[in-house]
Each structure stands twice: as C-alpha cells, then as structure tokens.
Structure 1
C-alpha cells in the first residue's frame, strides 16, 4: 500500500491532472468553433471568481478562475456557460449574427460540441500510445500457466495450457484483457470460449470474489478468475503504432467505463462506488507517488472518463446538446425553447443530485461520517 501522499501533494497532483484535461477539452470546442467562424467571447478554466484574465486580439477573454472543477467556452450568441441560446441573438447586426453560434448549420454546431470529448479521447490515445512507445508494449498470450487452488477457474475445470479465446463474446488477445472484464463482475456467470489441444469449447464460469480495502478502510468487491501467467514481454513500438495502440487501449478503458456505469444503473454494483472530485484528488496524489508513468496513465484514464461522461445524453452536458441537434436534424427545426428550458433545468437538477451523491460518497470514503458519529456518540 502506498504511503499517504499528504495534503499539498494531493492538491498539486489534482490540479496537474484536472487543469490540462479541462484545457484540452475546452480547446477542442474553441478551435473547431474558430474553424467554423464562431467568435469565442470567453474561455474559462475553472468557475467562480477570476484569478487571472486577459483579452486577446480576437476579443476572447481568457480567464483562470478559483474553482478548478471544470471550464467553459462561451461563444457569441450563448446566454451562459451551458451554451443555452440567448434569444437576443436575433437582434444582433448581420455581421454579429454571422459569427454567432446559433446561426451556424446544425452540423457545425454538432461538430463544435463533439470536439470537446473527441479531444479528450485523442489526448488519451496519444498519451497511452506515447507511453507504449517510451516504455514498450506488454505482450502476454492469453494462455493459462497456473490455476489457483479452489479458484473459480479450477472449479470450472481450466488447466495449464488452456487458451482463453473470448469472454462475453469479447475477443481476448492478451492475458491483460481478462482482468478488466472479470474484475467488474464478481459472482456473475459469464460465457467463455476456451481452446484446448486445438479444440474450442464453450463454457460458463462465475468468477470468484476478492475483497480489497483502501487506506480509509473502504471495501471493494472484485471478480477473480484464478488464472496466472508469467510470460509477459515488453516489445518495442514503432512510431506509426502510437495511434493504433493508443486507440486500442483507449477503447478498452472506454468499454470498462460503460460496463461500470451500466452495472451501477442496473443495481449490480453499489452507487457508493461512484467517486467525485475529492476522490479523484486523493487518487491523483497516490498516482503521483507511483512515478511519472503511473501518473500519466492515470491522467489518460481521467481524460477518457471525462470524454465519456460529457457524451452522456444529459442536458447541460455535451451529449445533451448533441441529442438536441440530432432531433433538430431529423425534424428540420430546432427543439422549442420551452422544451429546451425544461430539459436544461431537469439536467441541472440531475447533475446537482449526482454531485451531492458523489461528494457524500467521497466524504464517506474518507471516514468523515464515522468520525462524526464517534464524536456524537
């Protein structure tokens, strides 16, 4: 277990992770907006009171705010940081309307909105691919070398030499592909395809359960198959392979994120496992203590999750805007202002509820409620 990184390192690591990721996300919106001829009136990293600000020659106010928990680009014609359309944009001069966001065709507006999450994924692809180029790419055939006694694998009849071809219909190319699928599903019966002596066999295996505790005493249930392999090699990666390997690894993490969210929604995992800014800050500090590779890998993970969360079809998020633009493209007219207003208010309420929940979970994971109950008792 890693030592406590301390408050100062935790804060610095959190800012070092979130600051660049928020910047690249918002820069994606900004640069595609510029290409589409839309004027950005403000580019903000963080919310709340300004710490630093300047205006460039294009009239964009670049600002650094006190709460580094997000950011926004406010384009001409936007009413607020959530990019709700300002009804007054129709009263602008023809020149101003031409460079306003609402005046652009729906495909351009969709491209500008989608650019934020897209750049987060691109950032992760380059980061993970770059790390593979720097440190080498782990290669481990999905062939069982050892089977743990009394494990789920032994009970299912797996033997050394068996090759795991697929799990849940997902192709297994490397031994490292097994854990992301199995660890999220303790006790769940999953379909496997196993190759033994050249013959493929379909079987169902329910993973065992491994209990882990973090340094605050929080308990996590993880699936465990009980197979091992010691044949791991790090092969050199060519420069042209960086985007390929980065895309593959980003795709794997993205699928795991969708799996985790789906399990929480369907009740197979507890909502207590949802973490917020405080938990990210805590893990940021721990990642910083693991060295540069561990820290950059964690940054890539957060970048993927940031892109994923922003694509959720919730008003106030990029995915909600894209949903409206999809409806507009189909019905050939914008969604009515009344419906948009209702949707934005509902989306804001949902996001506030989620923020309260994850903050409650964060404080619980740090043992605050136990400490308070002890003081009261």
Structure 2
C-alpha cells in the first residue's frame, strides 16, 4: 500500500504540470478547454470555473488529459461533424481552427512543462546539496579486471568513451549502462599524453534500486577522488540544464537500441515498476524523491515528443505535414493514423505491463 501511495504522490503533480502546460497555452490563444482531468475513468469529484472548464479528478491515477473545444476525445482527435457545425464564434474557441504555430505551441506546452519541472527540481537539489563530482582519475584497478588486462594504470584520467567525450562519473556510468558492444574504446590522459585503448568489458547481473535484475558492463576501475562545491543560482541552472540534456540523449539512445534490436525491451516499465521505484526512492528521503520526480517528468516529456500518433509528438508530426502541404490532412486519413497510433500504444502498454508482471512477487506485496 505504501508503494501505491507514493506512486500517486509522485506521479500526480507531474501529470498535473504536463496538462497545465497544454492548458496555459490553450487559454493564451483563446481556446476553450472543456475538461481538465487528473486520472481516467469514473469521476470522483469535479467543479467548473468561470470559463466553463470542468476540472475533475478521476478514479484511475495513470495520467490525465485536457479536452479542447472541438475534440472528439481526450487525445485531441478532431470531431469532424462537430467542427463542421461550428459558427464563427465557436471556431474562435476551437483548437483545430487556430493558426498552425498556435496549435503546435499548445501541443508542445505539455512536454515543455515537464522539461521545465525537471530543470527546476534539479536546480533545487543542486542549490540545497551542492555539487559533488567524482573525478575520472583512476585511483584503483581490480586484479584480473578488463582494465588491468588492457594496460590501464592508476593515475590515468578517462576522457573518452567510444570516441565520445566523457566529463563526469554520471556520464561514464550512463554510457556503460547503455553499452551493447563487446569492445569499448577508451581515451585517457597519462601524464601529458593522450592515449587510447580497447577494453573488453565484463558483463555482470546487477539488481537496481527497484529490485530489477539486468546486465551491466564493468571495467574494474575505482574512482576515489571527489570534488565537492557549493554552487550559486546561475551555475546550478547551467548544471541542471546539462543534466537534462545528457539524460535526454541517453534515453533517446536507449530507445534507438530497442528499436534496432541492440537492446531488449526489459527496461520498459509501467505503473507497477514506477510504484516500485517510488517506494524505493521514498525510503532514501526527500532529496531522492525530488530527483526521482525530475527523472519521471523528463521521461514523460521526452516520450510524449516521440512521433507516435495519439501522443503530443504525433500531433506535432501531423502539424509538420500540414505545414508542408499547406492544408490539414483529410479527417479520414487522420482518424486512420490515430487508430494505428492507438494500436501501437496499446502494444507498448501491454509490453510494459508484461515486464511489470515479471516482478510478480512485488505485485503480491503491493497491498500488504
């Protein structure tokens, strides 16, 4: 039960901020929002504001939506019959009668809000706890490890991973986590010289903070030099934006590896996995919860920008086509595309639920 409670506590504000992003741009451009909902299914309670928007909280806390004037459903699929019946006053309130750039900003507002939330949370944590970085200078090498066999030595400073610059321990760990190659090329500094070496990593089974088992590439090196510093507002902003950028790149790489078959889909997770992680991070304190919220918000923003029909990115893709063609796609074609998108989303959700159910032991204990 604690996991379920933490799931709701963590996910609800993230969903609210996402939908608020859509809502703010809609109101800015004069679009009437018929419904602002947190959750799906049976309405638990609701109220109306002065502009006739119904605000509601629904039973199933797995997301939310804003339904714009002229939409057929919560995914902003246009209602052709309704739109054709609108008079001029109603057209002014409709999303689908706005200029292309205005529609695009309204749709983009949700992911943008999630990215801003992630940055703000990272800034808050950085201002409170400062910045602690582990330098990439090797302070120890395990016997018979891949690093020892490759000739790396104590004092070497790693600066590149497969010809990509690495500037932090987080960056190196992320690249190792996403690595699927049997051989890694490392660039490092020894004394005043730049050198490279090919390392064949070991792969071990690890259990992450959420109790999930996965393969992890290891080099067998130890980094024991720390740099700790308090940082101001401007530096924390720069630091947080860089974190968000790096994490976004790593997420996109992970998605690409799944699409191309370089990585299996075990990392896909649904609400049970999120609940599992929510409880695990909650045990580590407030800062850990805030960091987890930032990561989830970033994930939600990025995934929604993927060009999949029914998602925000799918709408933006259709708007891009509309801009190229200089006219909207035929409603029947749009509906067909949205149906394909719905089928794809259902398939992804089923895959995520299946991965969740692999942790059936946690499922048994969820309500204990």
TM-score category by the smaller chain? over 0.9
CA contact (8 A) 1:137 1:234 kept: yes
Q: Secondary structure at the match of 2:41?
A: strand
Q: Which of 343, 347, 362 matches 2:356?
A: 362
TM-score w.r.t. the length of structure 2 is 0.94
Q: Which of 8, 11, 18 matches 2:4?
A: 11
Q: CA deviation at 1:177?
A: 1.9
CA contact (8 A) 1:186 1:209 kept: no
Matched residues in 1 for 2:153 and 2:282: separation?
A: 39
Partner of 1:21: 14
Superposition pairs for residues 70-219 of structure 1, below 5 Å?
70-87=63-80, 88-185=82-179, 188-213=182-207, 219=213
TM-score w.r.t. the length of structure 1 is 0.92
CA contact (8 A) 2:37 2:64 kept: yes
CA contact (8 A) 1:167 1:190 kept: yes
Partner of 1:374: none
Matched residues in 2 for 1:229 and 1:366: separation?
A: 37
Number of residue pairs matched by the alignment: 363
Q: What stretches of structure 1 of length at least 5 have no aligned partner?
A: 1-7, 371-377
Moved more, 9-18 or 187-196: 187-196
Distance 1:180-1:95 versus aligned 2 partners, 3 A rule: same
Matched residues in 2 for 1:16 and 1:157: separation?
A: 49
Q: What stretches of structure 2 of length at least 5 have no aligned partner?
A: none
Distance 1:217-1:306 versus aligned 2 partners, 3 A rule: closer
Moved more, 332-341 or 178-187: 178-187
CA contact (8 A) 1:141 1:175 kept: yes
Superposition pairs for residues 250-329 of structure 1, below 5 Å?
250-329=244-323
CA contact (8 A) 1:313 1:319 kept: yes
Does residue 67 (structure 1) correspond to residue 79 (structure 2)? The answer is: no
Cα deviations by residue, 1:4-29 (Å, 9 ceiling, x for unpaired):
xxxx2101110011100100000000
Distance 1:138-1:60 versus aligned 2 partners, 3 A rule: same
Moved more, 199-208 or 338-347: 199-208
Cα deviations by residue, 1:131-150 (Å, 9 ceiling, x for unpaired):
01100111233211111222
Q: CA deviation at 1:154?
A: 1.5
Cα deviations by residue, 1:70-114 (Å, 9 ceiling, x for unpaired):
111111111110101121223212111112101111111111111
Moved more, 226-235 or 76-85: 226-235
Matched residues in 2 for 1:206 and 1:338: separation?
A: 53
Matched residues in 2 for 1:317 and 1:335: separation?
A: 17
Q: Secondary structure at the match of 2:42?
A: strand
